[in-house]
Amino acid sequence: MTKKVDPRAYSRLVVDGIKQTPARAMLRAVGFKDADFAKPQIGIASTWSNLTPCNTHIDVLAHEAAAGANSAGGKAVLFNTITVSDGISMGSPGMRYSLVSREVIADSIETVAGAEGFDGIVAIGGCDKNMPGCAMAIARLNRPAVFVYGGTIRLGAKRRDIISVFEAVGSRAAGKISDAELLEVERTAIPGPGSCGGMYTANTMASAIEALGMSLPGSSAQEAVGDQKHNDCRRAGEAVVKLTKAGIRPRDIMTRKAFENAITVIIALGGSTNAVLHLLAMAHAAEVRLGLDDFTRIGKRVPVLADLRPSGRYAMSELIAIGGIQPLMKRLLSAGLLHGDCLTVTGRTMAQNLAKVRDYPADQVIVRPLSNPIKKDSHLVVLYGNLAPEGAVAKITGKEGLRFEGRARVFDGEEQATQSILAGKVKAGDVVVIRYEGPKGGPGMREMLSPTGAIMGLGLGNKVALLTDGRFSGGTHGFVVGHVTPEAAVGGPLAAVRNGDRIAIDAERRTLQLDVGASELQRRLRTRKSRSPYATRGVLAKYARSVSSASKGAVTDALAD
């Protein structure tokens, strides 16, 4: 017997009956007609703003999604949430608000949809944190929903992108380019709307959400500008109305097997370390058990296949030109590496969605065959040891080598480190340690793109390692280890490291070791000086008090469990 589905399960409580006459009166003032009260209400969550190219076009996309929902028999209601720009705030105190914004976005979408009684949601994200923020809200609400990616940016002159600019800063410090050449890079690297152009965090998370089943097929591999993305938004609006009528909810889709699919796809694409943090948080929101060791388990059998930036040569727009991620997913499915029976927002399974997908052109060089991978197992390596008892996350493609041992150069914060790197004080053989940048200690777990970009620009990329309780941009490459837990601010071993200590990073053994005895390590931790909090009021202080460890996804509602 087929279950009876009420597509107006939530809006009915807000607009039906004599008691709700005042609510209908309010809604008439914003454009509702008599017939609209009998339709499923679809909230269109827009992350539009003109403070970043990632989101500057999303207002237009939101209206396209609304048009699609209306044409399918729903009543669309548009609302906005915030976004911040990592690329603009990077290297500054403002970057502390980046990961915080993920929680604010999730909270705000949940708040609006919960208060207004929307029956379905289309959420449109275009930058690193608003995508997982949208997905977290969708999972919490568990109302029919589709996520839409705002799309990737086109390459700038000479195939440049935002990472070209960060690395040019290091090149200028090394005297490799002039002020005029640096200005030319600045003026030409970012040509228009869209998210950063490599397999950085935005494109990684878009791909992960599509692999999870929460976007329409192809949504993650489209440029921000053009009819393809407009059509994607209209179809998303139509699809969510169908989901309300079919009674398909996000947690029917966001299962443990679906998260395993997402992990598999981001490994094959060579995606960002931030995906570890965000997928843990999204799984927490969906009440799915997922941990760091799941990335290791899956990573042992999934190879890196895509030669994409930052470690590779190609941009997302160039992957789009040969077919996007769907042919890659079909290859993974055929190899038994994806769960084809997972439900998706189309109402069909992953295998059904991929059935008619064509393979890549025979002459393409961006995606390797499974028989000839870039790396035979995952580039996302979870490390444990006396420096990271609860784990750390490294991004090791193999190009940097698989082991690094060197002397510690310790910095209590990103600014100190970047200044010293640009001043030439960091030398080959150093392990740069940047601490007190974790979720609580930062607070906000800033990304270390400025110091890593400077290291690459100076030509030290394969001669220096960097270790932090902060995060890395998806654009970071080199021998880097982040998410070190417990973080220094809560008494993690990173707080005990001193200049000159020997540190060994071993990607094959998956270890992170400080060459200091256990008793000496404990003595140092007992006698360490406590640090004053960066913020005692406002959102940063609230975040620092409530945020969980990075090994748990840095979520702020874990205390409610």
Which positions are catalytic?
A: 473
With vertex at residue 395, the alpha carbon angle to CA 277 and CA 477, rounded to the nearest 5 degrees, is: 115
Q: Are 83 and 55 in contact (CB under 8 A)?
A: yes
Question: What angle in degrees, to the nearest 10, is found between the helix axes of 201-212 and 274-285?
Answer: 40
Q: Which two tokens stand for residue 391?
A: 């784990």
DSSP 504: E
Q: What is the largest CA-CA distance in the chain?
A: 75
State which amino acid sits at residue 5: V
The rounded distance, in Å, linking the Cα atoms of 501 and 521 is 11
Strand partners, 304: 375
With vertex at residue 272, the alpha carbon angle to CA 267 and CA 278, rounded to the nearest 5 degrees, is: 95
State which amino acid sits at residue 184: E
> What number of residues does the chain have?
561
Q: Are 120 and 43 in contact (CB under 8 A)?
A: yes
With vertex at residue 452, the alpha carbon angle to CA 451 and CA 455, rounded to the nearest 5 degrees, is: 90
> Residue 276: how many CB atoms within 10 A of its CB?
27
Whole-angstrom Cα Rg for the chain: 23
* Locus of tokens 């990271």: 388
Give the residue from 393, 377, 126 showing the smallest Cα distance to 264: 377
3-state DSSP assignment of residue 463: coil
Q: Are 381 and 394 in contact (CB under 8 A)?
A: yes
| Number of Cα atoms under 13 Å in the Cβ half of residue 560 | 8
Q: Which two tokens stand for residue 396?
A: 């090791």
CA dihedral 531, 534, 539, 543 (to 10 degrees): -30
